[in-house]
A and B are shown apart, each in its own frame.
Chain A
Amino acid sequence: MGNVPTTVKHCLSYRQIIEEYPWFRSWLQEEKSITKHDYPEFVKIVEVGPRDGLQNEKEIVPTRVKIQLIDMLSTTGLSVIEATSFVSSKWVPQMADHADVVKGIQRVPHVRYPVLTPNIQGFQDAVAAGATEVAVFGSASETFSRRNINCSISESMLRFEEVISAAKDRQIPVRGYVSCALGCPHEGRIEPSQVAEVAKKLYEMGCYEISLGDTIGVGTPGSMFKLLQKVMNDVPISALAVHCHDTYGQALPNILTALQMGVSVVDSAVAGLGGCPYAQGSSGNVSTEDVLYMLHGMGIGTDWR
C-alpha cells in the first residue's frame, strides 16, 4: 500500500479497505486469492521401515530385533507394516531371515503385513511362511529394471502376472510398486507417460494399489504434480500411493502436493531408515515421524483404531 498515508494504514485493516472502497482495489492493482485445498480426512500410512529401511542399512539386523521392531510398530496405530522381502538371500542378505520374521511377528488384528515377492518362487515361500499379502516391484525405467532385477520391464510384468495369478487363487491381495517414478539414477529423466504405462499394467493385472516411488528423491512438487496428473488418467486416485525419498529434502512438499491432488496413501519409514544406495551419505526414505507430524498438524487422521 505504498502511497497510503500511515494513519490510514494504521486505522483500517487492508481487507476492510478493499471491501469498502472498491476504487481502492484497482488503485492498488493487486488481487490475490488464497487457494483453498481439500485434503483427505484420513491418510493410510504404509510403514516400510522393516523392509525398505532395513534392506538399505549397512548393518545386518538380527532376526529378533526385526521382530521386536515390527511388534512395536504394530502397537502404534499403523495399519500396514511391510515386514520383509522374499528375494533370494544371495541378492539381499539383509532379508535372508524372511521366513523367520514372518513366522515370528505377533500379528495384531486389523493390521496387515505385506511382503515383497519378486517372482513365483518368492510368492510360494512367502505363503508357506504365512504371508497374507504380497507386493511386486516394477520400474518405469528399462535400465533400472535390468540392473536391479536383471530383466526388462516387460519380462518383469510376465513374472508378476504369474504371482498375481497365484495370489488371486488364494485370495491374497497384491500391491504394485513402480520405482523411478520421478527420475532414474541411470536414465535421468523419466516421462510421466512411462510411469503411467507401468502403473496401468500393474493395476489392470490385479494390483489393488500402486505405489509410485521417487527412488532417488529427485522429484519436486513440480514433477510430482505432472506425474500424478498423468497417472490419474489410468489408475483411480484412490488406488494410488506415493513413496517419496528425502534425498534432496523434497519428500514432505511432494507428499503435500500428492495430498492436494487426492492421494491418501503414503509410504514412509520409521526413523527415516534406509539410505540411498545411489548417493553415498545422503538420506533415503522419508521418516514416518515427520510425515505424521505434518498430517496431524493438518488435522488429518492416521490411526486406524
Chain B
Amino acid sequence: ALPQTVKIVEVGPRDGLQNEKTIVPTEAKINLINMLSESGLPVIEATSFVSPKWVPQMADQVEVMKGIRKKPGVSYPVLTPNLKGFQAAVSAGASEVAIFGAASELFSKKNINCSVEESLQRFEEVMKAAKEAAVPVRGYVSCVVGCPYEGQVAPEKVAHVAKRLYSMGCYEISLGDTIGVGTPGSMTKMLEAVTKEVPVSALAVHCHDTYGQALANILIALQMGISVVDSSVAGLGGCPYAQGASGNVATEDVVYMLHGLGIETGVDLSKLMDAGAFICRTINRKTSSKVAQATCKL
C-alpha cells in the first residue's frame, strides 16, 4: 500500500542552484526560499557550508541563512561537510544539518578527496557536535544505483554506508541516484538491501532524471514503503557528469504524480510553480518541469 502522506524535501536552493552555471544573487536565493516556504513545502534545503573555494555558488551561505524568513513548522537544513562547516552553520542560525557520504570509493575520493571510511570518521565529529547542540542531522548516500567512475554499485555497499550513517545518529538517510542511471529494476534491488539495515520510515529517495527514470523510480520506492522524496523546483541543477543532461527531478512533476495518487504533500502546486517561474526568469533558464511547461501555455 502506498503512503498516505509524503514529505517532500526541496533541494532546489542548494542542490539545484549549486549545479547551475549562473551564480544567483543572494537576494534572489532568499526570495526563492521565501516563495518555496509559502508553497507548503515542509523541508527546504537552504544552502551549503562548504568552502567557497570549492563551491562558489554557495559562498553567500551566511547571508542566505540570516536573510530567509523562516516559516514556523518548516525546516531549513544546510549541508555541513565537516566540523568547521557545522560550526559556521550553527552560528549563522542553522537548526538542522546534513552530511554527504558516498557508496562508491572512487566517487568519494574524487568528490571530497578522501575514502568512504575517512569521510564517515569526519562525520562522527559533526555528529558529536550536533548531538551536543541538539541539532538533527540528515545523511545522504550518493551513487546508490551507479557511479560515474565505478559504474555498477553493489547494493550491499549502499546498505553498509546507510547503516553506518543511521547508527551514527542521522535521523534520515537520503539515497541518491547521482547520475540518474537507476531504473525500477536496480532501485528495487538496492532498496531491498538497504531496508534490511535501516527502517524504511527513516529512508528517502533522491532521484535524478538524467535518463527520464526519476518518477518511475520514485513510484517504486513509494510502493516499497518510502515516504520521503527529494526533488528540486523547476528541476534545477544539471548533471555535471553528463553534459546537457537533466539532473534533479522537478518538484512540480513529483507533486503532480503524488496528488494524482491521492497522496498528501501539503504543497500548493500553483504557488510552487510561481517559485519555479521566478527562479527560471532570474537565471534565464527554461524550466525542466514538464508540468510547468504544459501548464504555462494552456
A contacts, CB < 8 Å to B: 1, 6, 9-10, 13-15, 28, 30, 32-35, 37, 217, 219-223, 246-250, 252-253, 255-257, 276, 278-283, 287, 290, 293-294, 296-299
* Alpha-carbon distance between A34 and B215 when the two chains are bound, in angstroms: 19
Interface size on B, residues (CB 8 A): 47
Q: Are the CB atoms of A298 and B183 closer together than 8 Å?
A: yes
User: Which of A28, A256, A290 lies in contact with B212, CB distance below 8 A?
Assistant: A290
Q: Are the CB atoms of A281 and B297 closer together than 8 Å?
A: yes
| Shortest beta-carbon distance from B60 to chain A in Å | 32
Known: A6-B167, A35-B223, A256-B219. A247 touches B212 (CB 8 A): no
Nearest 4 interchain pairs by C-beta: A297-B183, A220-B260, A249-B290, A280-B297
6 A-B pairs with C-beta separation under 8 A: A34-B224, A37-B223, A247-B294, A248-B256, A253-B257, A298-B184
B216 at interface by CB-CB < 8 Å = yes
| Shortest beta-carbon distance from B252 to chain A in Å | 8
Q: Are the CB atoms of B215 and A253 closer together than 8 Å?
A: yes
Which residue of chain A has its CB nearest to the CB of B218? A253
| Shortest beta-carbon distance from A201 to chain B in Å | 28
For residue B250, which residues in chain A have a CB less than 8 angstroms away from its CB? 249
Q: Are the CB atoms of A15 and B223 closer together than 8 Å?
A: no
Chain B, range 174-224, C-beta contacts under 8 Å to A: 182-186, 191-192, 195-201, 211-213, 215-216, 218-220, 223-224
Q: List the count of A-B residue pairs having beta carbons below 8 Å apart.
A: 133
Q: Are the CB atoms of B253 and A290 closer together than 8 Å?
A: no
User: Which of A10, A253, A278, A293 lies in contact with B183, CB distance below 8 A?
Assistant: A293
For residue A253, which residues in chain B have a CB less than 8 angstroms away from its CB? 215-216, 218-219, 257
User: Which of B166, B197, B256, B296 lies in contact with A15, CB distance below 8 A?
Assistant: B197
B47 at interface by CB-CB < 8 Å = no
Q: Are the CB atoms of A297 and B219 closer together than 8 Å?
A: no
Q: Are the CB atoms of A294 and B219 closer together than 8 Å?
A: no
Q: Are the CB atoms of A283 and B185 closer together than 8 Å?
A: no
Q: Are the CB atoms of A294 and B216 closer together than 8 Å?
A: yes
Q: Are the CB atoms of B192 and A34 closer together than 8 Å?
A: yes
* Alpha-carbon distance between A296 and B259 when the two chains are bound, in angstroms: 28
* Alpha-carbon distance between A253 and B260 when the two chains are bound, in angstroms: 12
Q: Are the CB atoms of B293 and A283 closer together than 8 Å?
A: yes
Known: A294-B184, A299-B185. A220 touches B197 (CB 8 A): no
